[in-house]
A = this chain, B = another copy of it.
Amino acid sequence: MPNSTKQSGPVQVADWVDPCSACDARAASVCRAVPNEKLQRLADCLTVKHYEAGETLVFDGDSASHVYNITSGSVKVFRSLADGRRAITGFLFRGDFLGLVGSDVFSFGAEALESVQLCRFPRKAFRELLMQLPELEAELLDRASHELEAAQDQLLLLSRKTALERVASFILRLEERARERGETGPVHFTMIRADMADYLGLTTETVSRSFSKLKRDGFIQLVEGNAAQIVRRERLEAVAEGAFGEHRA
């Protein structure tokens, strides 16, 4: 595997390069909270892993031996009922952290949606890092808080929003997160309709119908590469928040 970004410094010990100092996902990841001089402690216990689309990162029921930080690509996280019904509980992108669990067994699965690169830490080592690096623990708590809020928004979506409102919310949220990662232009969907459906508590057909309606009504334009251009953001936001109960565009 030809690593083109060789550390130009004269490394005495070995040919090993620090994966952290030059990491372009750092600004978006938990490790941004770790000062440069302590970054080596992270580097010391991580393994860089790579997954292709469709590969499984975490099997439901696996012992929770590691935690993960996504550095590129995207991932779906899901949990299932015995008979196969499934809910996707979240999509992860560059900078997202995975593996914060109370118990020692994962109660969810995770699968790559496209080519994914991530840093994997042994849970035990990570736990010790947390004790050594209070900045890191604070960052994690902060992220957990945000995730909790996002989850509560999703509870409202699943409890009370119509199919159209769900899809509109989804597109807007996905675009917002892409912008946070510095990606501009049309929202690119790395997941298929069935995944959106499992995330939104709908079926593929209903997701597709909702997309069609949003397109027909001029809120979005589908563009090549499985992406959507938001046309009238404010109107779309109004739809997403249920402002059109009685009206018809």
Contact = CB atoms under 8 A, between A and B. Distances in A.
Nearest to A89: B152
A161 interface: yes
A146 interface: yes
A242 interface: yes
24 contacts: A79-B152, A79-B153, A81-B242, A82-B242, A83-B243, A85-B160, A85-B161, A87-B159, A89-B155, A100-B141, A100-B148, A101-B145, A102-B142, A102-B146, A134-B137, A140-B141, A141-B141, A144-B144, A151-B151, A154-B155, A158-B158, A158-B201, A159-B198, A159-B201
A132 to B, nearest CB: 11
A83 to B, nearest CB: 5
Interface in A189-207: 198, 200-201
Contacts of A148: 100, 144, 147-148, 151
The 10 tightest CB contacts between A and B, nearest first, are A159-B201, A158-B158, A144-B144, A87-B159, A151-B151, A87-B156, A85-B160, A89-B152, A102-B146, A81-B242
Contacts of A103: 149
A142 B140 CA distance: 11
A158 to B, nearest CB: 4
A142 B137 CA distance: 11
A67 to B, nearest CB: 11
A142 B142 CA distance: 13
Interface of A: 79-83, 85-87, 89-90, 100-103, 107-108, 130-131, 134, 137-138, 140-142, 144-149, 151-156, 158-161, 198, 200-201, 241-243, 245
A225 to B, nearest CB: 28
Nearest to A80: B156
B144 A145 contact: yes
A2 to B, nearest CB: 39
A86 B155 CA distance: 10
Contact of A145 (B86, B100, B137, B198): B100
A130 B142 CA distance: 12
A140 B147 CA distance: 14
Contacts of A151: 148, 151-152, 155
